[in-house]
Structure 1
């Protein structure tokens, strides 16, 4: 299994489409990280900069890139599902759609405030109710996705299973920053500089994982498309030879 994982990972890493995607996205991503650093420094020193520089702000430059990457990943994996009928691709595509809609429409924030108002008062908990509700929403979404992925992995062939596991590892990494670091930020009172540090780690970490997930989706799509094309060409040549 380790050998198969290694060979599949090397195959994806050698994908020309993956290299091109990274060459296009990474320079722009680095500019956005620089703008976020400047925005946090300005916030800490009292020099206000445009809110679009912050990665965490709705309508920021980074948010629009994230919308594009998660949407593109969802489309590629959905097309792969149509071609292969491997459920791991459909399960991941659905999650990417959720991520896009949640990021764009502030779904978990809105639900968090709604559910937070319904929670009992817990003075002993150093966290606002809506932050706790937001974390619970992520946990529920994660459990539903994990259940679907577990079923899909059992039905998948070896290649699709490895691809699904790699995507799941990236999503788990994003969850560490999006949930664990976010909870650490919301837990108790922090000085402004500490809040800026936590926010920077959360935003940049989640952003980096989205870029990696996009690049991985491009690599999987490229490798599988070429493999399927090769199989089709081989079958066509075999039928011609038989005739």
Structure 2
């Protein structure tokens, strides 16, 4: 019954999210800055290829660069909005995604996956074939992401029965963004580190990796902003209707 109700509700929810006023408003605020950041990243990579070094803060992948600082901000905001949506709606699927974005924000800022990769590298060196075209710690980093992803997927599965159709549909949009970000962050990242590379090839592949991940994080933030605004308005409308009914009954 819930599956049928959810499928029936998908078109309406998608229209609401994609045409939400909050989505266009936040896009007008953030997209100009996003464009500047991507332009600076392109310039810095071109400078890297031509030997004209530009400030490290121009690189999207650099810790605490202009791009990464924006990522920290929007990922934190996404986590907070999802948490508040859970508080209002009590559908646990919102909480599962809020915890994931909170973890990813922390990992992005302090590089937990990189530290894990170096920590497990000696163990991996004993089991991996020799002379691989990639250092052992690069194999360790995605292992942590896979473990976190499995915990997240289990949480999603357990939360489905206790969540209403609208939160499930909203969360599926974010799930798609997360999988795409994981593709850039794991698969494309592995291609970037695999084997010998020229400077130009490294910069091109790194731009695809970092740029793709960056865009999916921004898209997740935009969608969550639209969802948050829609659900907040719906909650207010429902509360106003309930109050009017109580007042009429009195």
> So what's the TM-score if we normalise by structure 2?
0.94
Question: 1:206-217 maps to which residues of 2 (within 5 A)?
Answer: 206-217=213-224
| Superposition CA RMSD, Å | 1.1
Aligned match for 2:182, one of 175, 186, 191 = 175
Aligned to 2:47: 42
Deviation at 1:237, TM superposition (A): 0.2
Distance 1:181 1:36 in 2: 17
Deviation at 1:99, TM superposition (A): 1.1
Provide structure 1 residue ranges, at least 5 long, that are not aligned to the other structure: none
CA deviations on 1:29-82 (whole Å, 9 max, x unpaired) are 000000000000000000000000001111110010000000001111101111
Aligned to 2:135: 128
Distance 2:134 2:11 in 1: 42
Aligned to 1:79: 84
Aligned match for 1:4, one of 6, 9, 13 = 9
Aligned to 1:222: 229
Distance 2:161 2:193 in 1: 37
Deviation at 1:127, TM superposition (A): 1.8
Aligned match for 1:26, one of 20, 27, 31 = 31
Distance 1:213 1:20 in 2: 15
Q: Does 1:90 find its partner at 2:76?
A: no
Deviation at 1:120, TM superposition (A): 2.7
Distance 1:170 1:192 in 2: 30
Contact 1:153 1:164 in 2 (8 A): no
Deviation at 1:116, TM superposition (A): 1.1
> So what's the TM-score if we normalise by structure 1?
0.97
Contact 1:89 1:164 in 2 (8 A): yes
Distance 2:193 2:51 in 1: 22
Distance 2:55 2:45 in 1: 11
Q: Does 1:144 find its partner at 2:154?
A: no
Distance 1:154 1:41 in 2: 50
Question: 1:52-131 maps to which residues of 2 (within 5 A)?
Answer: 52-121=57-126, 122-131=129-138
Distance 1:46 1:126 in 2: 26
Provide structure 2 residue ranges, at least 5 long, that are not aligned to the other structure: 1-5
Deviation at 1:4, TM superposition (A): 2.4
For these two proteins, the number of residue pairs brought into alignment is 243
Deviation at 1:166, TM superposition (A): 0.8
Q: Does 1:199 find its partner at 2:180?
A: no
